């Protein structure tokens, strides 16, 4: 059982939903990023999504793209991202970390070496947005064999024919992208999301967490009424980008977590 599996079991036993926060590793710099990441659990975050900076983030909107560019400009690398996770694990052995990004940096490092290093750093799961199920032998299957969850995205365009293939080797949870398009481009609507979550849950036995378009405590609360959890990324990253202090960022995250946990 991974930390992700254990977290969802514990939340279910408490009758709670999950709040997942996304931040870009190294944004705006390594030390500030580490301070924010270390503070996320006390702000109510159940699972941390740690963005891996990449030069061509095709699924990300302007807010996340700019965060990645700030991190890259500050010298952030895959190794430094793993270093950040290692530092976090010195004081927190319980909060799951999901590394979210693109395949190119992992491929460049070598899959076998990456998986050994990621496991050693305390990474629990991967979301690699540009690896479809047809490429499972590249990373998904080796990752699962190494004890890491491989979390797949489902979208409003994932029809009933495609969904079983998406679910086939997914573990940990399913990340439902509530809108079509890039991150930060629209707002999620619980009325639209609810039936889709039910459809995905019927196709497998995994928690369904909803992301994209959640930018307020009220929106987080609405989503967790119909899903197993809510992810907030762009709204948090935008606060970092405008220069909020770590304390201010974490105070905002706390309001989102309280909203998500209100059901």
Question: Residues with catalytic annotation?
Answer: 49, 60
- The residue among 37, 98, 97, 2 whose CA lies nearest residue 237 is 37
Taking CA atoms, 124 is separated from 23, 41, 80, 199, in Å, by 16, 16, 17, 26
Give how far the C-alpha of residue 215 lies from the chain's centroid of Cα atoms, to the nearest Å: 15
> Rounded distance, CA 120 to CA 83, Å?
10
Q: What is the 3-state secondary structure (H, E, C) of 171-238?
A: CCCEEEECCCCCCCCCCCCHHHHHHHHHHHHHHCCCCEEEECCCCCHHHHHHHHCCCCEEEECHHHHH
């Amino acid at each position: 059982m991974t930390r992700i599996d254990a977290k969802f079991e514990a939340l279910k036993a408490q009758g709670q939903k999950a709040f997942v926060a996304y931040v870009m590793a190294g944004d705006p710099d390594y030390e500030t990023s580490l301070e924010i990441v270390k503070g996320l659990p006390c702000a109510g975050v159940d699972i941390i999504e740690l963005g891996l900076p990449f030069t061509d983030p095709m699924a990300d909107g302007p807010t996340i793209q700019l965060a990645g560019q700030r991190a890259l400009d500050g010298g952030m690398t895959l190794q430094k991202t793993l270093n950040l996770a290692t530092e976090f694990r010195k004081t927190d052995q319980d909060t799951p970390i999901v590394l979210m990004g693109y395949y190119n940096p992992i491929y460049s490092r070598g899959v076998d070496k990456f998986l050994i290093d990621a496991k050693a750093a305390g990474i629990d799961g991967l979301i690699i947005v540009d690896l479809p199920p047809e490429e499972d032998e590249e990373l998904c299957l080796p990752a699962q064999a190494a004890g890491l969850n491989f979390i797949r995205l489902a979208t409003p365009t994932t029809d009933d024919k495609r969904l079983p293939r998406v679910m086939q080797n997914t573990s940990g949870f399913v990340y439902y992208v509530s809108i079509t398009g890039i991150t930060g481009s629209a707002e999620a609507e619980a009325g639209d999301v609810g039936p889709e979550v039910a459809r995905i849950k019927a196709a497998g036995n995994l928690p369904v967490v909803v992301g994209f378009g959640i930018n307020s405590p009220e929106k987080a609360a609405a989503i967790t009424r119909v899903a197993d959890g809510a992810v907030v990324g762009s709204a948090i990253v935008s606060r970092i980008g405008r220069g909020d202090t770590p304390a201010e960022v974490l105070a905002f995250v706390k309001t989102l977590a309280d909203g998500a946990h209100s059901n």
